[in-house]
Amino acid sequence: MERKTVILGVTGGIAAYKAADLASRLVQKGYTVKVVMTKAATRFVAPLTFQTLTGQPVVVDMFAAPPVWNVAHVAYAEAADVVLIAPATADIIAKLAHGFADDMLTTTVLATQAPVVLAPAMNSNMYLNPAVRENLGLLRARGFYIVEPETGRLACGASGPGRLAPPEAILEAVERVLRGAQDLAGWRVLVTAGPTREPLDPVRFLSNRSTGKMGYALASVAARRGANVTLISGPTSLEAPPSVKRVEVTSAEEMCAQVLAHLPEATALVMAAAVADWRPRAFSPEKIKKEGRETLRLELERTPDILAEVAERKRAEQVVVGFAAESSHLAERAREKLVRKRLDFIVANDITRSDAGFASDSNQVQIIWPDGRVEELPLLTKEEVAAAIWDRVLRVKKENQPPSAN
């Protein structure tokens, strides 16, 4: 197979030393790795480190005499199968967002046709600054792939989002981009979406404000990444995404039956539907009349607990992900649900935010893991949240299963 070329851009952050490990891992994986450093990056790590690890000249100065004949100012842009910038400073993010080309790295990115993966790393206040958020938003909208930083202790002593993503996550993103993102090929995935409706009489029902957007984004992203997708959807006004098989259901009971029917062949199940917890105990076949009553007392009963049913039947190699929509004690409640339902991880969203959760095009979620780890993702579009969820499902699947067992 032809060796792929990764242009590794290293910028001037304290995490620059971690780029040496990335360079080494990429070389071990068989890529040709050519490093471009910003001037600031050379204050943190010497070019010689990368030159030695990659066996390739390292370029810093765009105007320097080329060390080998083909390192012209756009040669790397043309050679790239993918450009990875790790760590990406606030500064490079700003420059790329606004089309600067004042050094070798920015020029390479501006001139390349290859996909670009950015792994930001910086102090939390910098990362959360609206200028950085907007710049990252601009880049995302232009198709840059952002590997979100982790939340944790930073070199400056503070704690918060901004720590460079782990090398595994960065390499996975690079490889996914290189594979043309068909990383779910051969998978059968099951996604639930939308609200359920619990009938009270022939014209009335109990339901909730879910629009199905999150579940539909999950289905559409999985299909684009090569999965065979079945979307079990409550009533929504959304179109079924291309090449997704949609099964339409109305009540929680119907949704439960469909999930259990499709579960045996599923590689992974992501339950993004907002399933009603309660339904009227009695269904009135006649429309309930208002005449002769001042009040109407409804008695409700629990609907089937789909995740509990799934937990009982799920095979060890199947990945199951739940969602938790909470208006208070988000992480705590989500974690309790995660353990009780034996989920691989849970995606928790705070439905009290107006820019996240129901009916919104964006979502801010936390990903909660069985070991108690909480990953806080920034405010993202639902498609980006979907991509982040599938990345993690893939990782869990790989960890569950040795690569030799298919």
Ligand X SMILES: Cc1cc2nc3c(=O)[nH]c(=O)nc-3n(C[C@H](O)[C@H](O)[C@H](O)COP(=O)(O)O)c2cc1C
Using the contact rule CB under 6 A, the part of the chain among 86-94, 139-147, 265-273, 338-346 near ligand X is 86-94
* Using rule CB under 6 A, residue 78 touches ligand X: no
* Using rule CB under 6 A, residue 90 touches ligand X: yes
**Shortest CB 145 distance to ligand X, Å:** 18
Cα(116)–Cα(37) distance, rounded to whole angstroms?
16
**Longest distance between any two alpha carbons in the chain, whole Å:** 93
Cα(101)–Cα(111) distance, rounded to whole angstroms?
9
**Shortest CB 100 distance to ligand X, Å:** 10
Tell which one of 19, 83, 109, 121 touches ligand X (CB under 6 A): 121
* Using rule CB under 6 A, residue 97 touches ligand X: no
Would you call 111 exposed, middle or buried from its count of C-beta atoms within 10 A (0-12, 13-18, 19+)? Answer: middle
Neighbour count for residue 294 (Cβ, 10 Å) = 5
Q: Please tell me what DSSP assigns to residue 40.
A: G
Cα(298)–Cα(341) distance, rounded to whole angstroms?
29
Would you name the residues annotated as active-site residues? 156
- In the complex with ligand X, which residue's Cβ is closer, 122 or 214? 122
Q: Which helix (H) or strand (E) holds 49?
A: helix 47-54
* Using rule CB under 6 A, residue 14 touches ligand X: yes
Using the contact rule CB under 6 A, the part of the chain among 67-75, 76-84, 89-97, 326-334 near ligand X is 89-97
* Using rule CB under 6 A, residue 151 touches ligand X: no
**Shortest CB 79 distance to ligand X, Å:** 21
Encoding tokens for residue 362?
Answer: 């964006």
* Using rule CB under 6 A, residue 256 touches ligand X: no
Encoding tokens for residue 184?
Answer: 């779910």
Number of residues this chain uses to bind ligand X (CB under 6 A) = 15
**Shortest CB 119 distance to ligand X, Å:** 11
**C-alpha separations of 25 from 57, 88, 163, 196, 383 in Å:** 18, 18, 19, 47, 29
- In the complex with ligand X, which residue's Cβ is closer, 85 or 385? 85
Using the contact rule CB under 6 A, the part of the chain among 33-41, 205-213, 245-253, 348-356 near ligand X is 33-41
- In the complex with ligand X, which residue's Cβ is closer, 92 or 320? 92
**C-alpha separations of 36 from 8, 10, 113, 254 in Å:** 6, 6, 17, 56
* Using rule CB under 6 A, residue 91 touches ligand X: yes
* Using rule CB under 6 A, residue 135 touches ligand X: no
Tell which one of 13, 149, 215, 234 touches ligand X (CB under 6 A): 13
* Using rule CB under 6 A, residue 22 touches ligand X: no
- In the complex with ligand X, which residue's Cβ is closer, 89 or 230? 89
Q: Which helix (H) or strand (E) holds 191?
A: strand 188-193
Residues 36-55 that bind ligand X (CB under 6 A): 38, 40-41
Would you call 119 exposed, middle or buried from its count of C-beta atoms within 10 A (0-12, 13-18, 19+)? Answer: buried
Tell which one of 45, 92, 136, 325 touches ligand X (CB under 6 A): 92
Cα(40)–Cα(154) distance, rounded to whole angstroms?
19
Please report, as ranges, the residues that interact with ligand X according to CB under 6 A.
11-15, 38, 40-41, 89-92, 121-122, 126
